[in-house]
Structure 1
């Protein structure tokens, strides 16, 4: 397993351009979409967790405040060549520790159908039925952050 350096940035940080490029390549281009056509206002209020290796951003996710107890993990992406090496697992674990440290008790996310097994293996449970987001099946999943502490 490769170890990455994780830290939190905001949209004013120099790494944000790398985060944007990563999300565009992994999350939007394969769907024939572009972040350039989306409302990115949440990017400016979210905490952005980056995973870096060899001095560049190779993984990212966004943490969006929902209420005093809940935070939403969104827009998680890992470059293809780094997938399957434990990078996503390290990034999500770091995000959970960060969110718990900020006082959140529950992490919520909208998982693409293909990512559900990954999140289940990290202790997330499905809440509700399938729905479509960005044109593909998703499921809401959540995790009690205090149960894993």
Structure 2
């Protein structure tokens, strides 16, 4: 399994749209996306792929100079519970850090609240309903160079060190 940044309006993007429709829109009682979402053109689109098939998707959207939003997280039902959501989330956080965002926020469905808690997200809203789903907003501060300097920490971890140490 690998996680990639994919192009807006690409074949992989439309496979992600299918997953989002099937898993997110249907369960929320909302209409499926049928036309190209122009408002997503400047988002970063990520896909988890196994043997060339899109099995997970996530969007990263700039909300301000310092904050990004993670949205439209969908993992194919056949592949849930295998760490794909974790890998997508961690990949999106690393990209957000590289883009110098200081924090990310997301809106999580009730069944995913424990997942986001586990990965260090703080609940920042009370539960509310949207369509047929119950949601809460979550936020996580990222460990950017700017943030680490404030704590006197120098972040110098190479991929090779990560492979040997963890």
Q: Which runs of 4+ in 1 moved over 6 A?
A: none
Q: Within the alignment, does 1:73 sit opposite 2:70 as a pair? A: yes
**Cα distance, 1:96 vs structure 2:** 0.5
Give the match for residue 160 of structure 2. Answer: none
Q: How many positions carry a matched residue from both structures? A: 146
Q: Within the alignment, does 1:143 sit opposite 2:134 as a pair? A: no
Whole-angstrom distance in 1 between the partners of 2:143 and 2:105: 14
Whole-angstrom distance in 2 between the partners of 1:76 and 1:125: 18
Whole-angstrom distance in 2 between the partners of 1:84 and 1:66: 30
Q: CA 1:41/1:127 → structure 2, altered by over 3 Å: closer, same or farther?
A: same
Q: Within the alignment, does 1:57 sit opposite 2:54 as a pair? A: yes
Any conservation in 2 of the 1:127–1:141 contact (CA below 8 Å)?
Answer: yes
Any conservation in 2 of the 1:10–1:46 contact (CA below 8 Å)?
Answer: no
Whole-angstrom distance in 1 between the partners of 2:138 and 2:29: 25
TM superposition score normalised by structure 2: 0.80
More strand by share: 1
Any conservation in 1 of the 2:29–2:131 contact (CA below 8 Å)?
Answer: no
Q: CA 1:65/1:93 → structure 2, altered by over 3 Å: closer, same or farther?
A: same
Structure 1: runs of 5 or more not aligned:
none
Larger radius of gyration: 2
Match of 1:119 among 116, 120, 145: 116
Give the match for residue 20 of structure 1. Answer: 17
Q: Deviations over 1:51-110 (max 9, x none)?
A: 101111100011111001100000100000100111100110011001111111101000
TM superposition score normalised by structure 1: 0.89
Match of 2:79 among 79, 82, 87: 82
Any conservation in 2 of the 1:10–1:44 contact (CA below 8 Å)?
Answer: no
Match of 1:45 among 19, 42, 50: 42
Structure 1, 9-18 or 37-46: larger mean CA deviation: 37-46
